Amino acid sequence: MDKLIIEGGHSLNGYLSSSGAKNSALPILASSLLLEGKLTLSNIPHLKDVTTMIEVLGSMGANITLDDDMNLEINTSDLKNQVARYELVKTMRASVLVLGPLLAKFGKAEVALPGGCAIGSRPVNLHLDCMKKLGAEVFTEGGYIKAKAEKGLKGAEILFDTISVTGTENAIMAAVLAEGKTIIKNAAREPEVGDLIDCLSRMGAKIQGKGTKEISIFGVKELKPTSYNVMPDRIETATYLTAVTMTGGEISIKNTMPKTLDSVLKKLSEAGAKIKIEDDVINLKMDRDINPVDISTAPYPLFPTDMQAQFISLNTIAKGQSTVIETIFENRFMHVQELVRMGGDISLAGNTATIKGKKDCLHSAPVMATDLRASASLVLAGLVARGETKIDRIYHIDRGYERIEEKLNSIGANIERVNA
């Protein structure tokens, strides 16, 4: 199993380019199931979850070609089955995104429940309730979601009692071929949802309300072939900007969408970073001690939960006390005990972490990644820790960061990936 070995104490300076957004690529790949003909995609990130989604589509009979630059052509016109098998999707919860497109196009779907995902849990129920509202019969059997809509889906009003990004995306994809009008209320406003809407619109879908809490979809008979460039990954961009804020140095990141990062850039400025934006380039310079920054996670456009762990790392070496409140996910503080092992002074009470920051407090230790963003926070801590930090179970990080050690090494880090 691979691990990362990080030598701390190097400032980061140089240039990077954002990769494509995983959380856009996954629903857009699933949307290929809706098409008559070929979908051509560029700026697809080379990540484990993306590879899994491609394998899921391939196992159904999709015709897929992929070049060395991760430009992809996918044609699902001659699908052999409508089953997303457990052995492929067990590591990726986003596999449920194929449910809506399969039902809309083929009138039936079987999607394995991801490992450890109880059917009574709210996230899965949101997806199932959407499909039922649109007229599908949905039940679970043998660890699979089984759904059918023999007479096709019908437009309906869908109200989410809690904001769900993948729930919103699944509902949109199901509704684009449904008969009549669908209204989604309390819809997610994340840029990745907007990216999916833009791609579907290129195919001929009729969708209004992008970026708002109410989205209207007017069903069409069919969608046509198109090409699309996936948006840049705002969380990857924000993670590297946070890294340079922690280590000190100067960085320029191109191929970004700065508007999607307003809440994070504001907090990095509070921490002391000097930020300048030029079109799709974000320039950041850090040459002072770090100010502690209070954050509270919330749905877009507020502070993203996917940057919570990285900011706890930053606050451990700030000059003073800060609080970080997690309002989106329960139990998303798994990284805290690992940061404490490295010398961080962090206490937890419910959904709030209190960090007593101290410059140079972090030191090397063997640590273990517990999830995608937690692993990123440990990499950031390792960049500033004294000595050599060893991070185990880094397969988590490969799900969401493309060649993280190569990118960081290119701007001055000293990270080695070893198989041990």
Look-up: residue for tokens 């922690």?
A: 246
The verdict on whether omega for the bond into residue 292 sits within 30 degrees of 0, i.e. cis, is no
List, edge to edge, every strand of the sheet that includes 295-296: 295-296, 321-325, 352-356, 346-349
* Contact partners, residue 26, CB within 8 Å, separation at least 6: 49, 50, 53, 94, 97
Residue 87's SS3 state is helix
Angle between the 99-106 and 122-133 helix axes, to the nearest 10 degrees?
A: 20
In a 13 Å sphere around the CA of 367, the CA atoms on its Cβ side amount to 34
Of the candidates 340, 387, 346, the residue with the CA atom closest to the CA atom of residue 367: 340
Spell out a b/e string for 262-272, using b for 16 or more CB atoms within 10 Å of the CB, else e: ebbbebbeebb
List, edge to edge, every strand of the sheet that includes 274-278: 12-17, 249-254, 281-286, 274-278
Sign of CA dihedral 404, 244, 368, 292: negative
Query: Whole-angstrom Cα distance, residue 77 to residue 259?
Result: 37
Whether 130 sits among the annotated catalytic residues: the reply is no
Instruction: Give the tokens for residue 98.
Output: 């194929």
Of the candidates 172, 170, 158, the residue with the CA atom closest to the CA atom of residue 219: 172
Residue 320's SS3 state is coil
For the annotated catalytic residues, the residue numbers are 117
